[in-house]
Structures are given as structure tokens and as C-alpha cells.
């Protein structure tokens, strides 16, 4: 097996105010190996983006990492000074933020923003400009030389996303964090961005963390998947195992919510209710108020994350009830989960 590049152990990230403390990331653990794509999936507000930002310590007040370890190549990033972390962000671990229109600086050209992202102090100004041009070519932006002088508002949504990817790759990071890289893009552009990320990951030999609520995207991209809900990991396994044999009611509900051609004329399925308010969490399993498999103990006891088969972990008292349930077949290269 490939070596472990990043290991997260019992990570806790809280948002602390005078009135209350909200646990946005609650006892999260996972590993990312060199060259693999790891997916964090779940509904909005489940803690995916906060987890991603915690990995490079970009959670700001009132947010605070209150426990756990983030081991990058065996060294705990939580013990690094802020100056040391600036050497990690961008250079070792890059990040594509969720909304390129609000992340890119509207008053600076794309060229300026690309050059600012280059961490190699030995590069001359001309070399940095040549590298910026090379990056736009790498991500497939047409007429890259002319586009360097453009401002973000002069780019389409897909081109802004490509520019964000170029900035994240500027210093050739070993690990790329992609926070909802296809959100708000139409399906054609989504497919282009997915193919671009897969190509760049292969060509640059880097690992990728993909944050998404879209199981169709996750099915095409990920080697391993962790399903999050209310700040906790509910299920984790290899992607093909998750899709074919889900062993958590929440994962199963997400899969059933995906439209299918085979269900033409039938009412679309949706999970009843809404995610819990983090200020007022259920006493037992956080998914129990919405779960069709719920038992009395689910309302009283938080289930541990246990191994249900080799390499497959689920946080559910009723995981054994789901042995007979089949999920969705993972598509072949270029396929779609909902086809």
C-alpha cells in the first residue's frame, strides 16, 4: 500500500462564543495515502468545509481546533507556529475554495494573483510570470497570455474555477484540498472540472481531498469516502464498497435521493426532516430523528464507529440490519451515478 501522507486523529473543532460552544467537527479521524482521492461527503452544514479548513489551520475566531492531531508526513501540524504553517499552506498543501468569485480578489489581475501564490523565493520576476502562463495552459484556459491581464469578473464561472485550481497548484503541492469545486457550475462545466482534476492529479502525482455533497461527483473521483453528518463521520470505506454495500442509514438515504432513469414517473425520494441544530443535538445518534431503522437505544446512546467488515466502518446501532441492502453500482470511467 502507498504511504500515509496525512493522518487525522480525533480532530475537534469548536465555535466558541459567550453564550455557547458548538462542536462543528467532533472526533473525526481518517487517513489519506499518497496518490489517492479521499472524499468527504454529506449535506450542507455537516462539517465538511470546517474539517478541510482545519487541516491547514484556517479556522478563525470564534472557531478553534480544540483537540486531536493532524499528522502531515508524521509531523503534527497543530504544533507548528503560524510562520511554519505559512510554509505548509500552498507549498505542501494547496486548497481550492468553495466560491471562486468571492475568493479571487476583484481588483487584482489573474496574473498578479498567480504570481503572489508562487512560494519559491529563488524565482525571478520573469520566471514567475512564465510559471503563471504555464499554469493557465495546464488548466486549459484558452488564449492564456491574453487572459493573464484579465480580472476575475471577465472570466466565466468555469474559467474562474480553473483559475482557482491554477492558483492552488502554483507551488506544486503534494496534497490538494478541493472544497466543493463543482458547486454552482452547470453539468457540462462540472464534467470538465472533474476530468481536469483527475488529469492533474495523475500528471502531478498528488493526493486529493474532495469535499462535496454530490454523490455522482464522488463516485467518479474518489478511492475512499467518509460520510459526515452533524460533525461526525458516520461511515467510511473504499468508494466501491460504500456505493455497493452501504451500512449506515444516512449513506443509504443519500443514495436513494439521487434521481434515476429507472424511476421515471415515480416520486423522488428525500430523507425526512432536516439536519439537527448543532446548538440542540439529539441525545443519542444525531441521525435518529430522521432514520427509518431507528430503535429505542438509538435515541439514547451515541453509537461508536465500528468495523462492520474489513476496512469498512459504520456509526450505527442497526448496521447489521443493513447487510441485505444494496446500494448503487459505481459507474465506469466517464459514467454517471444516476444513469
pLDDT tens digit string along 287-312? 999 998 999 999 999 999 999 999 99
Q: Which residue has the higher pLDDT, 90 or 232?
A: 232
pLDDT tens digit string along 107-136? 999 999 999 988 776 888 899 999 999 999
Question: Residue 32: pLDDT band by 50, 70, 90 thresholds?
Answer: very high
At residue 339, does pLDDT exceed 50?
Answer: no
pLDDT at 338: 39
- The whole-number average pLDDT for the span 49-70 is 95
- The whole-number average pLDDT for the span 250-269 is 85
Cα 236 versus chain centre, distance: 14
pLDDT at 288: 95
Question: Residue 189: pLDDT band by 50, 70, 90 thresholds?
Answer: confident
Are the beta carbons of 224 and 236 closer than 8 angstroms?
A: yes
pLDDT at 88: 94
pLDDT tens digit string along 52-61? 999 999 998 8
Name the strands in the sheet holding 75-76, side by side, starting at the edge strand that comes first in the sequence.
Answer: 21-33, 4-16, 63-72, 75-76
- Take residue 136 and report the three cell numbers written for it: 493557465
Are the beta carbons of 5 and 174 closer than 8 angstroms?
A: yes
Helix axes 187-204, 157-168, angle to 10 degrees: 20
* Pairwise CA distance, residues 230 & 251, whole Å: 13
Percentage of the chain exceeding pLDDT 90: 63
pLDDT at 329: 58
The pairing of beta strand 93-96 with beta strand 75-76: unpaired
At residue 260, does pLDDT exceed 50?
Answer: yes
- Take residue 125 and report the three cell numbers written for it: 520576476
pLDDT at 336: 43
Percentage of the chain exceeding pLDDT 70: 96
pTM assigned to the model: 0.90
pLDDT at 333: 45
Q: Where are the beta strands (DSSP E) in the chain?
A: 4-16, 21-33, 37-41, 63-72, 75-76, 93-96, 175-179, 207-212, 224-229, 232-238, 306-309, 312-314
Question: Residue 331: pLDDT band by 50, 70, 90 thresholds?
Answer: low
Are the beta carbons of 68 and 12 closer than 8 angstroms?
A: yes
* Pairwise CA distance, residues 71 & 73, whole Å: 6
Q: Which residue has the higher pLDDT, 203 or 76?
A: 76
Q: Go through the chain and tell me how many residues it has.
A: 339
At residue 169, does pLDDT exceed 50?
Answer: yes
* Cell 444513469 -> residue: 339
Name the strands in the sheet holding 93-96, side by side, starting at the edge strand that comes first in the sequence.
Answer: 93-96, 175-179, 207-212, 37-41, 224-229, 232-238, 312-314, 306-309
| Mean pLDDT of the residues in the chain | 90
Are the beta carbons of 105 and 116 closer than 8 angstroms?
A: no
Q: Which residue has the higher pLDDT, 247 or 265?
A: 247
Question: Residue 337: pLDDT band by 50, 70, 90 thresholds?
Answer: very low
Amino acid at each position: 500500500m502507498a504511504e500515509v501522507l496525512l493522518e487525522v486523529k480525533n480532530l475537534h473543532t469548536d465555535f466558541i462564543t459567550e453564550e455557547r460552544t458548538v462542536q462543528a467537527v467532533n472526533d473525526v479521524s481518517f487517513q489519506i495515502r499518497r496518490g489517492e482521492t479521499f472524499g468527504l461527503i454529506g449535506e450542507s452544514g455537516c462539517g465538511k468545509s470546517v474539517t478541510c479548513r482545519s487541516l491547514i489551520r484556517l479556522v478563525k475566531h470564534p472557531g478553534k481546533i480544540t483537540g486531536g492531531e493532524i499528522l502531515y508526513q508524521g509531523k503534527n501540524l497543530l504544533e507548528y507556529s503560524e510562520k511554519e504553517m505559512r510554509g505548509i499552506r500552498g507549498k505542501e498543501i494547496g486548497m481550492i475554495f468553495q466560491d471562486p468569485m468571492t475568493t479571487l480578489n476583484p481588483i487584482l489581475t489573474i496574473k498578479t494573483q498567480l504570481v503572489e501564490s508562487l512560494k519559491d523565493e529563488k524565482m525571478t520576476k520573469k520566471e514567475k510570470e512564465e510559471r503563471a502562463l504555464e499554469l493557465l495552459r495546464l488548466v486549459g484556459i484558452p488564449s492564456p497570455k491574453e487572459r493573464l491581464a484579465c480580472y476575475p469578473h471577465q472570466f466565466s464561472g468555469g474559467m474562474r474555477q480553473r483559475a482557482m485550481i491554477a492558483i492552488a497548484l502554483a507551488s506544486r503541492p503534494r496534497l490538494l484540498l478541493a472544497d466543493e469545486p463543482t458547486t454552482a457550475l452547470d453539468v457540462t462545466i462540472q464534467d470538465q472540472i472533474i476530468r481536469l482534476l483527475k488529469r492533474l492529479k495523475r500528471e502531478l502525482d498528488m493526493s486529493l481531498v474532495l469535499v462535496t455533497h454530490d454523490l455522482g461527483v464522488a463516485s467518479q473521483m474518489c478511492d475512499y469516502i467518509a460520510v459526515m453528518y452533524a460533525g461526525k463521520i458516520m461511515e467510511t470505506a473504499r468508494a466501491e464498497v460504500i456505493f455497493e454495500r452501504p451500512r449506515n442509514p444516512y449513506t443509504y438515504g443519500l443514495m436513494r435521493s439521487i434521481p434515476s432513469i429507472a424511476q421515471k414517473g415515480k416520486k423522488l425520494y428525500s430523507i425526512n426532516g432536516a439536519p439537527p441544530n448543532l446548538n440542540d443535538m439529539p441525545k443519542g445518534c444525531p441521525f435518529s430523528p430522521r432514520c427509518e431503522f431507528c430503535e429505542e437505544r438509538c435515541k439514547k446512546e451515541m453509537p461508536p464507529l465500528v468495523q462492520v467488515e474489513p476496512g469498512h466502518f459504520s456509526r450505527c446501532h442497526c448496521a447489521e440490519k443493513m447487510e441485505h441492502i444494496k446500494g448503487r453500482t459505481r459507474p465506469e470511467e466517464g459514467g454517471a451515478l444516476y444513469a
